[in-house]
Amino acid sequence: DDDFEERKRRKKFRERGVGVNLGVDSDEEIQEEDSDYDDDDDEDDLFGEDDNLAGMDDKQRAEVLRLKREKKKLAREEKRRERKGKIEAKRKAMLRRAFEPVQLVENFCTEKDDAIRMKDSPERFYDWLEGENNPNVRPVPEAGEPIQIEEEEEAMWIMGKIPEIASECYSATVEALAAPKENGESDDMSTEDLAEKKERAIRESIAHALRYMRRDKLEPEFIRRYRADVVSSPAVRNNLYRIMDEDAEWERMVEARSKIETILNELNDEVRAEEDGKAGEEHLLKLKEQLTMAQQRLENTVKDEERVKVELQGLEKAKELSADGDKEKDDDDDDLFGDDDDEEDEATKATKEKQKASLQSHLDTITTLLQTQSEQVARLDAAYHEAEAAAAATSRGERSNLIAALSKKLCRDKLWHYRDYNEYVSSILEYRHVMDIKGYLNLIKEGNQAIRKKASTLGGASSSKSSKDKNKRSKRFDWDLYRTCVSEGLRDICYRFVLSPFRVGIKLEETHNKNGFSYERILPGDENKPDAGEPRQWMTPKIEDANPQEFASELVGSGELVLLSTARDDADWQDNPEMNDPLKGCRYVAAMELAHEPRIRRVLRAIYRSEAVITTRPTSKGLGIIDGFHEYYGLHLLRNKPVKEHFPMDAAELEKRRARLNAEEVKELDAELKLKETNSCIQYLNMLKAERSGDISIHVHLPFVGDVSGNDKPWYKCELENLGRDRQDVGKFMEALERVYFPADNDTDEWNDERRKILKMALVNYLLPQFEAETRRDLKDVSTKVGVEAAAQTLRDMAMEGPYRPSHLLGENRFIVPTGDVPIVGVCSSNDPKDGTFLAAVNGRGELTDHLAIPGGTSITSEKIREKVITFLMQTRPAAVVVGSGAGVGCKLTARRLGEVITQATERWNNRLIQGQDEDDEDFEARMQTFRLMHSNIDDDDDEVWKCNVDIVDDNVAQLFGRSVRGKKEFPDMAVNLKVAIATARWAKDPLGELAYTWSSASDAGVFGTEMLFLNIHPLQRLLPKPMLLREYERVLCDVTASVGVDLNGACTYDHLHGLLTFVPGLGPRKANNLKQSVSRIGGVVSSRKSLLVKRLMGPIVYNNSVAFLRIRATDHLQDQLLHPLDDSRCHPDVYHRNKWAIKIAVDALELGDSASNDSEDYAITALRDVMQNSRDEIERLFNATKAEWEAHYGPTFNVGAWDPREAVPAESWRDKVEELDLETFAEMIEENGNGKWLTHLTMIKWEFRLPFEDPRKPMEPPSGENLFRLLTGESDVTLCPGKEVTGKVVKNGDFGSQVKLEGDVPGFIPLRNLAD
pLDDT per residue over 1096-1110, tens digit each? 888 899 999 999 999
Closest Cα to residue 83, out of 49, 133, 33? 33
Average pLDDT over residues 1058-1081: 91
267 neighbors 445 (Cβ within 8 angstroms): yes
Half-sphere exposure of 275 (CA within 13 A, CB side): 7
Cα gap 512→606, rounded to integer Å: 10
Cα torsion through 422, 428, 430, 435, rounded to 10: -20
Tell me, letter by letter, the H, E, C secondary structure of 1033-1072. Answer: HHHHHHHHHHHHCEEHHHHHHCHHHHHHHHCCCCCCHHHH
Cα gap 1157→1145, rounded to integer Å: 13
Cα gap 541→496, rounded to integer Å: 6
Confidence of residue 718 (pLDDT cuts 50, 70, 90): confident
In this structure, of 76-90, 227-241, 1068-1082, the range with the lowest mean pLDDT score is: 76-90
DSSP annotation string for 541-558:
P--TT--HHHHHHHHHHH
Looking at the DSSP bridge assignments, the partners of residue 1311 are: 1297
Closest Cα to residue 685, out of 598, 581, 783? 783
Closest Cα to residue 1304, out of 1284, 1316, 1289? 1289
Cα gap 596→289, rounded to integer Å: 37
pLDDT of 277 reads: 53
Average pLDDT over residues 1032-1042: 94
Q: Which one is predicted more confidently, 1015 or 354?
A: 1015
897 neighbors 1005 (Cβ within 8 angstroms): no
Q: Which one is predicted more confidently, 1286 or 692?
A: 692
pLDDT of 992 reads: 93
Give the CA angle between residues 136, 444, 530 to the nearest 5°. 95
Q: Which one is predicted more confidently, 444 or 389?
A: 444
Q: For the chain, what percent of residues have pLDDT higher than 90?
A: 26
Confidence of residue 519 (pLDDT cuts 50, 70, 90): confident
Backbone angles phi, psi at 1216, to 5 degrees: -75, 165
Q: Which one is predicted more confidently, 509 or 373?
A: 509
Give the CA angle between residues 98, 103, 107 to the nearest 5°. 110
Cα gap 522→420, rounded to integer Å: 10
Q: What is the pLDDT of residues 765-802, one digit of tens each?
A: 999 999 999 999 999 999 999 999 999 999 999 999 99
The highest-confidence range among 573-577, 1212-1216, 1265-1269, by mean pLDDT, is 1212-1216
Backbone angles phi, psi at 1010, to 5 degrees: -65, -25
- Strand pairing category for 613-618 and 949-953: unpaired
Residues 6+ apart with CB under 8 A from 1110: 1045, 1046, 1048, 1064, 1089, 1092
Confidence of residue 332 (pLDDT cuts 50, 70, 90): very low
Cα torsion through 509, 512, 514, 518, rounded to 10: 60
pLDDT of 275 reads: 59
- DSSP 8-state secondary structure symbol assigned to residue 472: P
Instruction: Report the 10 Å Cβ neighbour count for 186.
Output: 9
Looking at the DSSP bridge assignments, the partners of residue 701 are: 613
DSSP annotation string for 1280-1311:
S-TT----EEEEEE-SSEEEEEETTS-EEEEE
Cα gap 383→294, rounded to integer Å: 13
pLDDT of 283 reads: 63
pLDDT of 319 reads: 60
Residues 6+ apart with CB under 8 A from 1182: 1205, 1209, 1213, 1214
Confidence of residue 418 (pLDDT cuts 50, 70, 90): confident
Q: What is the pLDDT of residues 355-396, one digit of tens each?
A: 676 677 677 777 777 877 787 787 777 777 776 766 665 555
pLDDT of 810 reads: 84
pLDDT of 660 reads: 78
Closest Cα to residue 988, out of 679, 707, 1260? 1260
Closest Cα to residue 1029, out of 1041, 1049, 1014? 1014
pLDDT of 91 reads: 73
Cα gap 650→610, rounded to integer Å: 9
In this structure, of 329-338, 884-893, 1187-1196, the range with the lowest mean pLDDT score is: 329-338
Q: What is the pLDDT of residues 94-114, one digit of tens each?
A: 777 777 776 777 777 777 778
pLDDT of 130 reads: 61
Closest Cα to residue 311, out of 269, 374, 363? 363
Looking at the DSSP bridge assignments, the partners of residue 851 are: 840
Burial of 939 (0-12, 13-18, 19+ CB in 10 A): exposed
Closest Cα to residue 886, out of 954, 838, 823? 954
Cα torsion through 788, 794, 797, 801, rounded to 10: -120
Alpha helix segments (H runs only) across 459-547? 464-468, 480-487, 490-494, 501-514
Cα gap 294→376, rounded to integer Å: 7
Average pLDDT over residues 602-630: 90
Q: Distance of CA 69 to CAs 456, 629, 752, Å?
A: 67, 90, 91
Cα gap 1137→1140, rounded to integer Å: 5
Residues 6+ apart with CB under 8 A from 1062: 996, 999, 1000, 1008, 1068, 1069, 1072
Backbone angles phi, psi at 881, to 5 degrees: -120, 125
Q: What is the pLDDT of residues 938-960, one digit of tens each?
A: 665 566 788 999 999 998 999 99
pLDDT of 343 reads: 43
Does 645 score more than 70 pLDDT? yes
Residues 6+ apart with CB under 8 A from 546: 554
Q: Distance of CA 373 to CAs 366, 378, 819, 995, 1204, Å?
A: 10, 9, 68, 53, 66
